[in-house]
Each structure stands twice: as structure tokens, then as C-alpha cells.
Amino acid sequence: MPELPEVESIRRFLSSSGFMTQKVETLLVHHERSFRNESGSELEGAAFTSITRKGKKLFIHLDDGRVLVVHFSMSGTFSLTSSPGPDDIHDRVIFTAGDLRLAFHDPRRFGTIILTDDDSLIRGRLGIDALSSTLSKETLAFLLGEKKRAIKSVLLDQSIISGLGNIYVDEILWAAGIHPLIQASEVPLPSLYLLHSQMRRILMASISLGGTSLGDGESNYHAGGVRGGYYPYLKVFDRDSERCERCSSVIGKIRVAQRGTHYCPSCQPFT
């Protein structure tokens, strides 16, 4: 599932795609649940003007004030080709403008695009973005410090901090030396401050490489047909049974919050 670095990479791809500033000429919906128009009028004739991101969602702003809110879920992304062109069987929603054809490509079909007059409700349900300039280490420590749940499940909760998913939570907790099952309120303050700096460092590093693509199947993430390059830099995620590069212990895998969770038993002691 695309997390913050992957969605940011998709945002950058779309922003420079040439589809921006064009008027949408046609909208074709192949899978009914992939597109919902909650606004009062049709999309055709409106133009994209800018694209913003909060957490794992994209907000494509239109020149009439409306917004397309994109939830990528497990396998959504966008591809851009010239129009007319053949539709891929996994293209669920297709926008055309001039000689461009922008497809919402979603093999597993859990993603959705909502056209709305007002995105404030959706934005409001999301906690502060993990890369927001207003998320200081003190704010992060305050947000996490009162939660009496496993730190991993708190970090996955999009209503507290938005943007992190299974890959990056495992990576950030390893970098900060925090066991994923420790209750958030029991993590010492210096460790929460370290978590803050490691979170930013890891997310920025991944964005600079276009995010993480796992495996090579059709449903694996890519942005505009280009795979992310961060996979070789993952320290624990998908590395169970391998050696920890910091201490040589064998990386373990447990379940936390119904998610496969990778950690180093030596670097991340449960104390």
C-alpha cells in the first residue's frame, strides 16, 4: 500500500505530468466503486490546478474550487499515456485532456477517487502529516506520550499522525531502537525525540528515491510506470531471518495490530 513517500512521489509525478492546467475532456469509469461524484455537477470541463497531499491521500484541486480526493488503498496509482490508447484491464478511471490520457490504475480495486465541493471533512479526519513543518519533536512526544497502546499501532493510526504504514513504521522503530509492542506512553522522551528525527530522515530518503516498490507483481507500487528505489535501503521490513546490519542479531517477525512486524530483538529490546 502506498505510504507517505510513495504518495508524495505520485504527487510529484502528476504535478509535472503535463495534465496539470488542462481541462478534463472526458471521464470514463470502468469500475463503479472507484469513482464517486459528491459534488453538484459533472467533472468534464474543469481543469486541474494544483495537487496537495496529506498523509496517504492526494487532493487534486480544480479551477472551480472542487477537489478530487484520491485514496490509493492497497494498489492504486496513476499512469499517463497518449490518447487515444488501449485501456489496461486494471485502469478503473480514465481522464482525457487533449492528447493525454491519465488512468487511475488499481489492480486490487480498493482505491477510490471522490469528487467533492469541500474536502475539509476528509482532511479533518487525518492527523497531522508526518512531514508537516509544524510537527515538532515536542508535539510528536505529546501526541504519542498519552496513548496506552502499542507504539506501532499508535503510529499506524491515521487520525493521530498521517502518512505512516507498515513498511515505514517498522523502519522508524528500528532506527529509534524502540520495540513495536511497547506502550507509547512508556517510551522515554529521548527515544520519542529520536523517533521524530529518524521518521523525517527515513521518509525524506525514501522520497528522494521515489518510494519503495516491493516484489515485481502488477499490484506493486510504481509512479507513472517508474518503480521506487528505496527497497535496498530497508533495514528490517521484509528482512526477517536476515542479520541486523547494526548488531548481527537475526531479525524477527511478530504480529502487531494485525500486521506482520519486523524488528531486531537486540536493538529494540522490550524493556
Positions in the binding site for Zn ion (CB under 5 A):
244, 246-247, 249, 264, 266-267
The residue (of 89 and 247) whose beta carbon lies closer to Zn ion is 247
Catalytic residue among 11, 53, 54, 56: 56
Question: Longest Cα pair distance anywhere in the chain, in angstroms?
Answer: 60
Residue of 3, 6, 8, 171 marked catalytic: 3
d(CA 73, CA 81): 23
- C-alpha cell belonging to residue 118: 469541500
Contact 11, 68 (CB under 8 A): no
CB of residue 35 to Zn ion, shortest distance in Å: 45
Residue 32 among the catalytic residues? no
**Closer CB to Zn ion, residue 177 or residue 229?**
177
Instruction: Name the pairing type of β-strands 57-62 and 48-54.
Output: antiparallel
Establish whether 3 is a catalytic residue: yes
The C-alpha atoms of residue 208 and residue 5 are separated, in whole angstroms, by 9
- Residue 89's φ and ψ, nearest 5 degrees, are -65, -20
Q: Shortest distance, CB of residue 50 to Zn ion, whole angstroms?
A: 43
Q: Are strands 35-37 and 112-116 parallel, antiparallel or unpaired?
A: parallel
Nearer to Zn ion, 203 or 244 (CB): 244
Q: Rounded to the nearest whole angstrom, what is the least distance from the CB of residue 43 to Zn ion in the complex?
A: 51
- Per the residue annotation, which of 2, 5, 107, 180 is the catalytic one? 2
- Least CB distance from residue 145 to Zn ion, whole Å? 25
Do the strands 161-162 and 128-129 form a parallel or antiparallel pair, or are they unpaired?
parallel
* Cα–Cα distance measured from residue 133 to residue 117, given in angstroms and rounded to the nearest whole number: 27
User: Which C-beta is closer to Zn ion: that of 90 or that of 179?
Assistant: 179
Active site residue 265: no
Burial environment of residue 86 by CB neighbours within 10 A (0 to 12, 13 to 18, 19 or more): exposed
Q: Return the number of the residue (33 or 246) whose C-beta is nearest Zn ion.
A: 246
Is 2 designated active site?
A: yes
Minimum distance of Zn ion from residue 176's CB (angstroms): 12
Sign of the CA dihedral 130, 259, 172, 178?
Answer: positive
Active site residues: 2-3, 56, 259
